[in-house]
Amino acid sequence: MADFHIGFDLGGTKMLAGVVGPDYQVLSKTKRKSQSQAGPEAVYEDIVATLKDALTQAGKTTKDIGAVGMSVPGILDRKKGTVVRTPNLGFYDFPLADRLKAEFGFPVVLENDVNAGTWGEFVAGAARGHEHILGVFPGTGIGGGLILNGRLYAGVGGNAGEIGHMILQVEGPLCGCGNRGCVEALASRTAMGKDAIGLIANGTLTGAYAENGADLKAISSKFFSQGLKEGNPHIIAIIDRAADLLGTHIGGCLNLLNPELVLIGGGLVEKLGDYYLKRVEKAMRASAWEFVAADAVVKAAILGDDAGLIGAADLACKAVEA
């Protein structure tokens, strides 16, 4: 049984690979831009090159590697090892696991990116020692991961965890998924960015805040952390509302799942820190049953990018050993 595994985080903007050793050390970390516009074959070639770099950088060969875990943002068929759909990367029914296995020889296991990140925090990060965990990752969208009874819970089809696509406001704002009023359409950084763009358009936000005009993609988590730091009341109001709505929804999920830990990760909490986290927690406690809320602590994720690498590598390791 090999002691080393590779975790691969295939994101919409960048891809990241790392050799992960026993006790979850990340021995190498290599990175490339994801050229999503170039088509699936070009993305695939970059994946291969990034994997080779990760091996070289760690001084390992394919024979040292037990398995590769691919963390993928999209809909997967885990049994077949195919990427059914990834809107951001252009993969449709792409046999990623088989292609990589033919190329390198090691087994390849696909996992949803948020599940991999939650699992990484569970085995090596902020969620260690808890058995019932609701992972929530607000950023461009709002992803979720569930660990129940100490095991990743993925549902019958492997696609559980989509906490962002539950409706919190009937007939609310349009969501990327086509529904109206999803949590993601109300509380993600994208939703916050739309509010900010409205305030730029009507002249409420000016100066450095307005320099990118109406480019939603330019409104990053840093845009909001800057506003928070400078005490801009308009930006703080946007942050507060998004945090309140996310917390309200997490409170409802507490009533459904009665977890012991709510793990919050992703760009918003990394940049907005305790201010954001405490606001989310306060709304969560106001919305959940008191005795259910009392069972749960709230923690920020601590591993950053490494969570996905470690989680994907470890889940692949366990899948291969099972």
Return the number of other C-beta atoms located less than 10 Å from residue 13's C-beta.
10
Minimum distance between the CB of residue 306 and a second copy, rounded to whole angstroms?
26
Is the Cβ of residue 76 or residue 200 nearer to a second copy in the bound state? 76
Task: Give how far the C-alpha of residue 225 lies from the chain's centroid of Cα atoms, to the nearest Å.
Answer: 19
Minimum distance between the CB of residue 239 and a second copy, rounded to whole angstroms?
17
Is the Cβ of residue 238 or residue 309 nearer to a second copy in the bound state? 238
Minimum distance between the CB of residue 237 and a second copy, rounded to whole angstroms?
16
- Is residue 314 within 8 A of residue 275, CB to CB? The reply is no
Return the structure tokens found at 278: 């405490």
Is residue 49 exposed (0-12), middle (13-18) or buried (19+ Cβ within 10 Å)?
A: middle
Rg, C-alpha atoms of the chain? 20
Minimum distance between the CB of residue 119 and a second copy, rounded to whole angstroms?
16
Cα(146)–Cα(161) distance, integer angstroms = 6
Is the Cβ of residue 53 or residue 131 nearer to a second copy in the bound state? 131
Minimum distance between the CB of residue 153 and a second copy, rounded to whole angstroms?
6
Helices marked H in 59-110: 96-104
Task: Please list the residues that pair with 145 across neighbouring strands.
Answer: 135
Cα(291)–Cα(68) distance, integer angstroms = 41
Is the Cβ of residue 13 or residue 255 nearer to a second copy in the bound state? 255
Cα(186)–Cα(179) distance, integer angstroms = 12
Question: Residues interacting with a second copy, by CB under 8 A?
Answer: 75, 84, 131-132, 144, 146, 148-149, 151, 153-163, 165-170, 172, 177, 179, 182, 245, 248-249, 251-253, 255-260, 287, 289, 291-292, 295-296
Is the Cβ of residue 29 or residue 279 nearer to a second copy in the bound state? 279
Is the Cβ of residue 70 or residue 186 nearer to a second copy in the bound state? 186
Return the number of other C-beta atoms located less than 10 Å from residue 179's C-beta.
14
Minimum distance between the CB of residue 132 and a second copy, rounded to whole angstroms?
5
Edge-first strand order for the sheet with 133-138 is 151-152, 142-148, 133-138, 261-264, 297-300
DSSP H or E stretch at residue 292: helix 290-294
Task: Please list the residues that pair with 18 across neighbouring strands.
Answer: 7
Q: What value, to the nearest 5°, has the Cα angle with vertex 73 and ends 70 and 75?
A: 95
Return the structure tokens found at 184: 């993601």
Minimum distance between the CB of residue 143 and a second copy, rounded to whole angstroms?
11
Is the Cβ of residue 128 or residue 151 nearer to a second copy in the bound state? 151
Is the Cβ of residue 31 or residue 318 nearer to a second copy in the bound state? 318
Minimum distance between the CB of residue 206 and a second copy, rounded to whole angstroms?
30
